[in-house]
Amino acid sequence: MLPCLRRVVLPLLLALPVACDGSAPAAPPDRPSAETPAAEPAASPEAEKQYREALELEAAGRHEEARIAVEQAIAAGAGRDAKLLAAKLAILREDLDEATRLLEPLASDGGDALVLYNLGLVAQKRGKYNNARSRYLAALKADPNYNPARFNLAVLTWEAGVKDEAQHHARKFIDAVPSDDPNAAKLQQMMGGVPPAPASPGVQR
């Protein structure tokens, strides 16, 4: 039987320069995956213009207008980044089927941490523990330094009662971010403290 999940509020990170949705806990800084996706044909000037407009509208919180603009950009030939933005907007309005439709084709090579992360987020919102966990782990395989996936794994496994794994991911996240990162403090608070990693053999504490 799969673990029973409570609904949690998670950060939503996509490609630069898409902003996080501002929900608590605050998201770590956006950045592209270390694994560069395969090059795609350049979008037309009109597609690029529509995409930039959609970004500005999304940043201003005008999500319905942003949706229309990004759909026009995609229709005009805009590629991965526009589809990531469209998927983000779909997730924000809880249209998880649309988000999946946009994201799945982008995940075909298994090397795009941002796409895999967002598919994990969709699965987590649907309460699909195994799928969410596998997507987040795949995101970390594509980019071992992609901290948002590590953070969400810590939350996902903790909420599912898999405490040892949750603390492992929390420790990895805490060790990877600045000491004053608010998300590190949130994990410490959620778990009632995260013990330090054990010392390697032969290393003095």
pLDDT at 137 over 90: yes
Instruction: Give the confidence band of 44 by pLDDT, cuts at 50, 70, 90.
Output: confident
pLDDT of residue 205: 43
Q: Is residue 79 part of a domain?
A: yes
Global pTM reads 0.77
Give domain status of residue 80, yes or no.
Answer: yes
pLDDT score at 150: 94
Which amino acid type is present at position 60?
A
Give the pLDDT confidence score for residue 1 in this predicted structure: 47
In this predicted structure, the answer to whether residue 20 has a pLDDT above a threshold of 90 is: no
Alpha helices in the chain (DSSP H): 45-59, 63-75, 80-92, 96-103, 113-125, 129-142, 147-159, 163-176, 182-191
Q: Can you tell me the mean pLDDT for 14-29?
A: 29
- Residue range 125-134: mean pLDDT, rounded: 95
Q: Specify the pLDDT at position 38.
A: 43
Is 56 among the domain residues?
Answer: yes
In a domain, 1, yes or no: no
Residue range 22-38: mean pLDDT, rounded:
32
Tell me whether residue 132 is in a domain. Answer: no
Give the count of domains, the chain: 1
38: in domain: no
pLDDT digits (tens, 9 = 90+) for 71-92: 999 999 989 999 999 999 999 9
Query: In 180-193, which positions are buried (b, 16+ CB within 10 angstroms) versus exposed (e)?
Result: ebebbebbeebbee
- Kindly state whether residue 181 falls inside one of the protein's structural domains: no
Residues 94-108, mean pLDDT to the nearest whole number:
94
> Residue 122 falls within a domain, yes or no?
no
Q: Chain-wide mean pLDDT for the chain?
A: 79
**Is pLDDT at 125 greater than 50 in this prediction?**
yes
Q: What is the pLDDT of residue 11?
A: 46
Q: Which residues form the domain of 56?
A: 43-94
The mean pLDDT value for 94-117 works out to: 92
42 pLDDT tier (thresholds 50, 70, 90) = low
Say if residue 117's pLDDT is above 60: yes
- Confidence category of residue 119, pLDDT binned at 50, 70, 90: very high
Angle subtended by helix axes 147-159 and 129-142, to nearest 10: 160
What gap in Å lies between CA 123 and CA 52, rounded to an integer? 28
Higher pLDDT, 23 or 73: 73
Please determine, for residue 41, whether its predicted confidence score (pLDDT) is greater than 70: no
